[in-house]
Amino acid sequence: MCRRSIEPGTGFWTIPAGYLEEKEAIIDGAKREAWEEANAYVDLDSILAIYNIPRISQVQIIYRGTLRSPEVAPGPESLDVALLEWDEIPWDDIAFPSVQWALNHFREVKELPACAPFANPEGQMGDQPL
């Protein structure tokens, strides 16, 4: 996980994520963001979730993947990075609702080789402010 050094949510924890560059493939953008925010090389295997966040005009596509190496370090948009066990996750300091959703969805299927992508939890549209 990454502790953000930029707004929104400076000081809060998130998973590596961000916006695509022009003409960039989604999977390439996900790999680039993991590198930029956590100096992490990742192998991505499937889409975990597609979240609709109309309040901020976003569709978020979250991938499942594995680290090529456990060596990570903060990039320019992160104050800190950490590989955390489930009970170490700072739930009160998570930056965005979709990060909590993704963590919980991943926990549900982490032992499965693949799964159909999740969507927003029932009744949730990501409209809760920080």
Give the pLDDT band of residue 118 (cuts 50, 70, 90).
very high
| Percent of the chain residues past pLDDT 70, beyond the cut | 96
Look up the CATH number of the domain holding residue 65: 3.90.79.10
What is the count of structural domains for the chain?
Answer: 1
Determine the Cα–Cα distance for residues 9 and 25; give it in Å rounded to an integer: 26
Task: Look at residue 128 and tell me if it is in a domain.
Answer: no
User: Domain for residue 27, yes or no?
Assistant: yes
Query: Is 114 buried (19+), middle (13-18) or exposed (0-12) by CB count in 10 A?
Result: exposed
Domain enclosing residue 30, as ranges: 2-109
In this predicted structure, what is the pLDDT of residue 35? 97
pLDDT digits (tens, 9 = 90+) for 42-81: 999 999 999 999 999 999 999 999 999 999 999 999 999 9
